[in-house]
Amino acid sequence: MKVIIFSVLFLLIPAVNNARMSESGSAKMANFDTYSVGNLAETGLSRDVFNLAIKGMKKLDTNGRLQNPNIITIADYSQSSNKKRLYVIDLKNKKLLFNTFVAHGRNTGDEYAKSFSNKEGSLKSSLGFYITEHPIIGSHTGFSLLLDGVEKGFNDNALRRAIIMHAADYATENFIKRFGRLGRSLGCPALPPNLNKLIIETIKGGTCLFVYNPDNAYLTKSSLLN
């Protein structure tokens, strides 16, 4: 009897392994399909940045941190601020919902984002993964979205620093035409006024926001990417 049981288990092991490999392959294919079907390459978002965003988001979801893992937002600060470098993606339906401008912090750089900080008063953007919370009405910013930075040492002071998503007149194409580049915030990912509420209503309540830049210190030490 023991010999028979062992033989059955031996035969089942390859099937289990193949199933795991198939699940892993399916997940990768789903990501590939979203990137391809959503025509994300045409918008300027690289596959590598998209894959990093999905990698970190999946860890957050596995740990039960996300209420809605079907929506992901990427602010690609490797791109010029004159580009539409904010992406809101519907992973379930493989669709790009929004692609627009987003400002970075005043002391992070001019046209390009180059320097980042997690410190209060730095007026710099913070890299990494955030979880969206609920909208608020700011005294100076109006309809805004609280952002909870979840990467220790990189953005976990976001709530203390009042890093929020909000509308700004300097985050518009008209501003670029006048001054040659997008305006800058106090560290917040600021959006065009005409899309601010639409985007906040779409991503509020426990979705993932990934603020990216090819910063070596972040990429090598991020707990969600390593």
Could you tell me the pTM of the whole model?
Answer: 0.87
Do the beta carbons of residue 155 and residue 82 sit within 8 Å?
no
Residue 32 domain-assigned? Answer: no
Residue 2 domain-assigned? Answer: no
* CATH, residue 173: 2.40.440.10
Question: What confidence category does residue 32 fall into, taking pLDDT thresholds of 50, 70 and 90?
Answer: low
Residue 13 domain-assigned? Answer: no
Overall number of domains in the chain: 1
Q: Provide mean pLDDT across the span 20-43.
A: 68
Residue 12 domain-assigned? Answer: no
pLDDT in tens, 178-192: 999 999 999 999 999
| 70 vs 175: CA distance, rounded Å | 33
Would you state the structure tokens that stand for residue 149, as one six-digit string? Answer: 């930075």
- Domain enclosing residue 168, as ranges: 38-221
Model pLDDT, residue 105: 98
| 212 vs 87: CA distance, rounded Å | 12
Q: Provide mean pLDDT across the span 200-214.
A: 98
pLDDT at 24 over 70: no
Would you state the structure tokens that stand for residue 135, as one six-digit string? Answer: 């909208």
Would you state the structure tokens that stand for residue 164, as one six-digit string? Answer: 């929020």
Residue 103 domain-assigned? Answer: yes
| CA nearest to 65, candidates 163, 169, 149, 173 | 149
Residue 7 domain-assigned? Answer: no
pLDDT at 142 over 60: yes
Query: Phi and psi (nearest 5°) for 138?
Result: -80, 150
Question: What confidence category does residue 148 fall into, taking pLDDT thresholds of 50, 70 and 90?
Answer: very high
Beta-carbon neighbour count of residue 97 at 10 Å? Answer: 16
Residue 17 domain-assigned? Answer: no
Residue 25 domain-assigned? Answer: no
Would you state the structure tokens that stand for residue 209, as one six-digit string? Answer: 């926001």
- Return the H-helix or E-strand segment holding 13: helix 2-37
